[in-house]
Amino acid sequence: MDQRSQLTGYPSIDKPWLKYYSDEAINAQLPECTMYEYLWESNKDHLEDVALTYFNKKITYGEMFAMIDKTARAFLSIGVQSGDVVTVLMLNQPEMVYMLYGLNKIGAVCCVVNVLSSEKELIHYLSEGKSKYFVALDVFFEKSYQAAKQYGVNKLIHVALWQSLGFMKNKLYRLKVKAPDYSDDFIMSWSDFIKGGSTIDKVTPARFERGKCTVIGHTGGTTGTPKGVMLTDYAFNSVFEQEKWMFERRPNDSLMDMIVPFAIYGLASNIHIAMCFGVQLILIPKVDPEKTDELLLKYKPNHVASIPSYWTAIPKSKKLKDVSWLRTAVAGGAGMNNELETSLNDFFSSHGSPAYVTNGYGMSEVCGAACMQTKNSSDVGSVGIPLCKTVVAAFEPETTNEKKYGEIGELCIKSPCMMLGYVGNEKETAQVMKRHKDGVWIHTGDLGYVTENGAVYIKGRIKRVYITQHNGVVSKIFPDRIEQTILAHQQVEECCAICITQKDGTYLPVAYLALKEKGEDYAKVQEEVSALCKRDLPEYAQPVRYIFLDVLPKTAVGKVDYRALEKTAAQM
């Protein structure tokens, strides 16, 4: 009897993707230890190897663990205890790694937040986690300072972008970026913070607790309201344990990290997973998508896990002649079109690389990863197969009725990596984490299907949302959130936010407004509405244009016809 005749027709029962995994992978036990313990056990025997590369600075695993210990002591010295939440607003740099594992070592919670957040959002994040300790990159100091002062933190620690690069580099850096004002007692520099840790004699590593939150990331999820995703040591370590069967990575390999650390995808897949493999992690704080070929040429990484827009410059590159050093090329965080995927694979093949585009799929609520393409399951257009301990299936929206192979429904995920829930938000948690007859599943809000070979395909979203990129960061634009912000203005009667597509595939928001009173000063209202948006919305969600109409178009059932407005905006 062939496999097809044995299938029940339901992916969650058949799990057809398991045929691509070894028995060892399928039966492997997931680790029960902290992230710090797992990192140490993975690397304690090669401490002389390079762990981090930051511009021209190389840091060995031994040096990195020493700095993690100093950072843990420093947090203890300012009063951070096990279970406390420390809010971190950083880019890819060594101090981000030291904090992630230093906090984990003492049992505290690392809460990562988007550097593009507005001041109001930062206050929300601090309040959400009851965080009294805030670490921020000095490039974003002003809004961090205002948020910290309004909320009332115990300590605001600022870090220079070039903190790790020595005296002369920092001196040159200070010619461009002014050092923050120290007049407030609650502000301290990273250097003083680390020095303070010398008063602590010993750090006793925290014990592993299966259901304890250790990392908080943020996502809009299926709505535009920022929510704190509570993740555990078990979730982070389980992502590595599942992905290690899909990649051949060895100590002394190198991986270039271009994904921001406040994205759980970047924190889990590019930092924790890479370093548990024992590779050299090349930290890139900011990326120009048009110059990623220059970064590849400079560092010649063996592995890259990135977002689709960072790959667009590669097939057109005249600088890359031989890329035989590149062995894996992962794309996640947003969908990659088939044309780019094909052109990249052709480029790799013709330039000496064994790499092929490895698409992935996940969300913060499952620690960033649920599916990944492999060499034997890399159908163009798919996002790969579920990880070996993960189940992905499509369900009839708003129900727990599973769809059969090839039938489109809401994609749902059952995974050992799923979140504990959203911080202080039981209502939103219940919308996403739903109990089925075989356990709790994450409802993604994505439409898609699963094939008989186990490949997963994405076909769209249930709710109106636009995936875009701003300053190299993949973000979600939620029209509802823009509309709610604008409707707070007393003169606005109706509002509809839509997005227009740019040549590079990104989106820009546009707001249509109808006012309560005709004859209002449009320029004055626009100025006030724009100020509201700048105050309350992240940079990527602020409308680039405001269009005033007497009345907004309606559908047959009386709702605002956003599709008609999308067509109108596209023709402008």
Residue 35: CB partners within 8 Å, gap ≥ 6? 100, 101, 104, 214, 233, 236, 237, 272
pLDDT at 209 over 80: yes
Is there a common fold for 1-27+232-462 and 31-43+59-208? yes
- Domain 478-570: top CATH class: alpha beta
In the prediction, which pLDDT does 3 show? Answer: 45
Assigned CATH topology for domain 31-43+59-208: Rossmann fold (3.40.50)
Question: Quick one: average pLDDT of 419-424?
Answer: 96
pLDDT at 270 over 50: yes
Question: Quick one: average pLDDT of 165-182?
Answer: 71
In the prediction, which pLDDT does 304 show? Answer: 93
Confidence tier at 4 by pLDDT (50, 70, 90):
very low
Confidence tier at 333 by pLDDT (50, 70, 90):
low
pLDDT in tens, 56-101: 899 999 999 999 999 999 999 999 999 999 999 999 999 999 999 9
Task: Show the tokens assigned to 125.
Answer: 């994040």
Could you tell me where the beta strands, DSSP code E, fall in 353-420? 357-361, 371-372, 385-386, 391-395, 409-414
In the prediction, which pLDDT does 555 show? Answer: 62
What are the residue ranges spanned by the domains of the chain? 1-27+232-462, 31-43+59-208, 478-570
Question: Quick one: average pLDDT of 309-313?
Answer: 84
pLDDT at 442 over 70: yes
In the prediction, which pLDDT does 222 show? Answer: 43
Task: Show the tokens assigned to 526.
Answer: 């626009």
Torsion of CA 27, 387, 100, 150, to 10 degrees: -130
pLDDT in tens, 284-300: 998 888 899 999 999 99
Neighbour count for residue 176 (Cβ, 10 Å):
9
Q: Which of 31, 370, 365, 328 is nearest to 217 (CA)?
A: 365
AA identity, residue 440: V
In the prediction, which pLDDT does 220 show? Answer: 56
CA gap 512, 550 in Å, rounded:
10
Give me the DSSP letters along 96-154: HHHHHHHHHHHT-EEEE--TT--HHHHHHHHHHTT--EEEEEGGGHHHHHHHHHHHT-S
CA gap 253, 328 in Å, rounded:
11
Confidence tier at 24 by pLDDT (50, 70, 90):
very high
Q: Which of 570, 566, 542 is nearest to 553 (CA)?
A: 566
In the prediction, which pLDDT does 517 show? Answer: 83
- Domain 1-27+232-462: top CATH class: alpha beta
* pTM (predicted TM-score): 0.83
pLDDT in tens, 448-459: 999 999 999 988
Question: Is the torsion defined by CA of 392, 393, 396, 399 positive or negative?
Answer: negative
Question: Quick one: average pLDDT of 384-413?
Answer: 94
pLDDT in tens, 225-248: 678 999 999 999 999 999 888 877
On average, the pLDDT of the chain sits at: 89
